Chain A
């Protein structure tokens, strides 16, 4: 008997649980339309009073209507106790609505508890607070996180346009700098802190990159086209050797970016990774002091490790690193697992970056988004030369900062089993750099990271 069920429920809530049952609370609890909840409450009151006139039941009503006050018609909405209901109704010139607001066992002194009940039930149902409401708005559709980040990026870009019309005599570089700084604001601030003195061209490139990156459509072509202008822009700041290195790494980032694009869930990292990829190298140059210190440390470490390592050690370390890596970043794990298989098919060792490129291209779905998250901090340039296989090998002059760098290299160098140690060690560097830099950069950036305003609101 469905009809009786709600009566029993209300009875239980009011008498047994001694709750204050407001129409909203009932509507969410029973999952019914608010108007039905109001009617249910009314029905319950009527029946209860009919069968037992001495029932301990206190009712509050909502009265709304027009009130003549100071010469104008004021629309009044009031919650009143039952005993004041008629008084209120008589005050109103026209009554627009009357319905039961709440039922409770004890008499309420003031309306505070009513608010608390409603607040609690709304808080637990925040995501669908208007589900049982009588008004549905077609325009109120929550955006997906991808759209949100897109809007945020475009909002930041738009905020730059009034700049020109304003009485602010800012050189265009300033405007661009701020736009760079603003656009990746959803991204880790530590990275952006390094680009305080970036030039306009670089920021333009990053602008170009961040904007398309936030789209989910396959942007492989656009990304690839952007990689080349980025490379040329970067070349202004670095020598040819570094240029080559940048090209290589940007090429390998391109497939990375492709992968990222393909992966639908990483919308947040999408805007993160391209600017990270783009800016990390110049960023390294900009802040050599900080990085060099770390690099020196890690360089010393890596020298030591590379000197001592043997195949088994490598394997061990790789294995160790492998175990470590899933803990740090699950997406890196995918990278790890993906990398050995295609590479084993090719006995001659491609260089780490081209290797990454090759392995990434077939594996469309697996993206080492974790790898892209971690910014690489390469301060010095690296030389690129063509391998015997026709693949480009990148050698770094020195290594990157943290020990996690060696992880990447080790894993990659596992595949090229045939190579001699020195080249393997050297080739490890870029890989280590890439992956290790992620960790190094992550920790470094965390250390230097400016506390963002998001820190207050992250609990949510």
Chain B
């Protein structure tokens, strides 16, 4: 693990100054390829409706699902389209799920004068006992019943169901299956220890200075200023840092300027300006020492819809001078030293959390991998660009490391797929709340959290609590 061999020289710096101070060279980047081209948008046109993205999703995933269905229920099963269904015939149908939720916020309902409704209060979860599942394919839709977990599933999932249609027109489900993990390319990881640091939720501009020291300690550890010599030599093996979103805090998002009178807000600056300047300085310190990939998040100054485009380089005049700084999309996919990384800043998992009964972020992360789609709830409840030719969120290859940022706590798990795929799932905690980041060892695909703390007056132990 990180810095175990450092223990030998731990107290080495508690001594008078030595003549020579050792400097370590950062491990060079052996191989790096950014595979996120399909998340880059060029010219954007919003004239299209969102129905096309569902259509293409179904078209792309139908063959995968049929294959899985045949593997699971035998190759002799009858595969029917909804329009070909006959009552009481056991068959397999493939389609898109739609969950009709009465608590789902609907703008039409809100502004409808007939209903005279007050706007809905925001909730953490929008699920309700009365939710219903409906399966849609190209032509028709049918209500579902039976052995299907209505609370757990979300709109937009493509799945295959085995069952039969009843007289009243509902489909009774006996079994279901997902597209499951796609094939995985072999991992050609490094033979020596190499680490990738994953951080998310720096939350600059948040107004509370508590996390600043933690952030400074993080930067110092990575750039090799902190720690004894052993630790510094281990830190030199960190080959990359990925900042997974929410670099700015939610507090920078306030739109007071819209509500306040103009004369009150004339000289005020958006809170995000100061926060971005601070971010630039931090990125400068980091990119002067290690390659950094910056992914935008929910509160960052880039577009709202997925896939979020990289932050603009003009915001980072200082750090932008270094070629080690890379501004990347959200979601982000890359081959780092032979290991395929794929991850998001957490909006997809967060959205599924709101509309599903699943409580654990790691469980949701694993579920998206099984479903074969990064964010099935887009575009229904999560903003998404109206694609029509391809849906870039469908998994084409299985990653080796699959992460999501801005989770409430750190969790990691090693998943083994049906076809022998090995995936490391990591939920990166929000740094501004937990002061914790993740270190991934590329040699053996293990993950270790690293947490930072200062001290403050009101705690007996003299250190901040780390929620874990």
Chain A positions within 8 Å of B, measured between CB atoms, are: 6, 23-24, 27, 32-36, 38-40, 42-43, 46, 60, 62, 64-66, 69-70, 72-81, 83-84, 87-88, 94-100, 108-112, 114-115, 118-119, 122-123, 126, 129-130, 132-143, 148, 151-152, 155, 159-170, 174-175, 178, 453-454, 456-457, 460
Contact = CB atoms under 8 A, between A and B. Distances in A.
Contacts of A137: 25-26, 288-290, 324
Interface string B427-468: 000000000100100000000111111111100011100101
Majority SS of interface residues in chain B? loop
A129 B6 contact: no
Contacts of B225: 23-24, 27, 34, 130, 132-134
A139 B291 contact: yes
B2 interface: yes
Given A35-B21, A74-B449, A140-B287, A111 B456 contact: yes
Interface stretch (B159-167, B245-253, B313-321, B353-361): B313-321
Nearest to B44: A168
B23 interface: yes
A130 B219 CA distance: 11
B24 interface: yes
A141 B436 CA distance: 29
Interface residues of B, number: 99
Contacts of A130: 223-225, 285, 288-289
Contacts of B227: 62, 64, 77, 96-97, 99
A453 B390 contact: no
A57 to B, nearest CB: 15
Contact of A96 (B6, B317, B386): B6
Given A111-B213, A136-B23, A143-B323, 11 more contacts: A39-B18, A66-B3, A69-B468, A70-B468, A72-B448, A97-B228, A114-B454, A129-B284, A135-B24, A159-B42, A160-B43
B217 interface: yes
B393 interface: no
B189 interface: no
B390 A167 contact: yes
A165 B387 CA distance: 11
A95 B7 contact: yes
B7 to A, nearest CB: 5
Contacts of B290: 137, 140
Nearest to B280: A460
A134 B20 CA distance: 12
A367 B232 CA distance: 50
Interface string B1-33: 111101101110111111001111110110000
Contact of B43 (A38, A46, A132, A170): A170
Contacts of B323: 139-141, 143, 151
A98 B454 contact: no
28 contacts: A35-B229, A69-B466, A69-B468, A75-B449, A75-B450, A94-B7, A96-B3, A96-B4, A96-B6, A96-B230, A97-B3, A98-B10, A98-B228, A129-B223, A130-B224, A134-B229, A137-B26, A137-B290, A139-B29, A140-B287, A140-B288, A162-B41, A164-B42, A166-B42, A168-B44, A454-B314, A460-B277, A460-B318
A418 B37 CA distance: 64
B52 to A, nearest CB: 7
Given A42-B13, A95-B10, A162 B456 contact: no
Nearest to B288: A130
Nearest to A122: B285
A100 B13 contact: yes
**Which 6 residue pairs across A and B have the least CB separation, nearest first?**
A163-B42, A135-B224, A111-B454, A97-B228, A33-B21, A167-B389
A66 B4 contact: yes
Contacts of A72: 448-449
Contacts of A456: 273
Interface string B234-255: 1110000000000000000000
Contact of A453 (B209, B230, B284, B314): B314
A249 B410 CA distance: 65
Nearest to A170: B43
B281 interface: yes
B448 A78 contact: no
B463 A80 contact: yes
A427 B189 CA distance: 70
B224 A79 contact: no
Nearest to A85: B462
B468 A80 contact: no
